[in-house]
Amino acid sequence: MQTFLSFATTLVLAFCSISQILLLGRAIFSWFPGQGGAVERFIYGCTEPLLIPVRKLFDLFDIRPNLPIDLSFTVTFVLLIIIESIAMSL
């Protein structure tokens, strides 16, 4: 049982780390739209499924502030940090 928990924790930590890196790449590409080509499309394709649930939650509660930043990105990034912290404490 301990090896399964260790394996699952490793997978969760790897997923969170890779997702955070991809989200940071998405943020950098957002400063230079259309310049990344295939890499940009790959990063957007990988990160969009992470952002969609948060955007749907915002739509459900009609949260659409007129801010220059994407709140769904920020909330998703913070959630990944929280999940990573919980997994590390196991």
> 23: exposed, middle or buried (C-beta count within 10 Å: 0-12, 13-18, 19+)?
buried
Other CB atoms within 10 A of residue 84 CB: 17
Is 69 in a helix, a strand, or coil? Answer: coil
Q: How far apart are the first and last CA of the chain?
A: 13
Alpha helices in the chain (DSSP H): 2-31, 38-60, 71-89
Query: pLDDT (tens digit, 9 = 90+) per residue, 24-49?
Result: 999 999 898 888 889 999 999 999 99
Query: pLDDT (tens digit, 9 = 90+) per residue, 54-73?
Result: 999 988 888 776 777 778 99
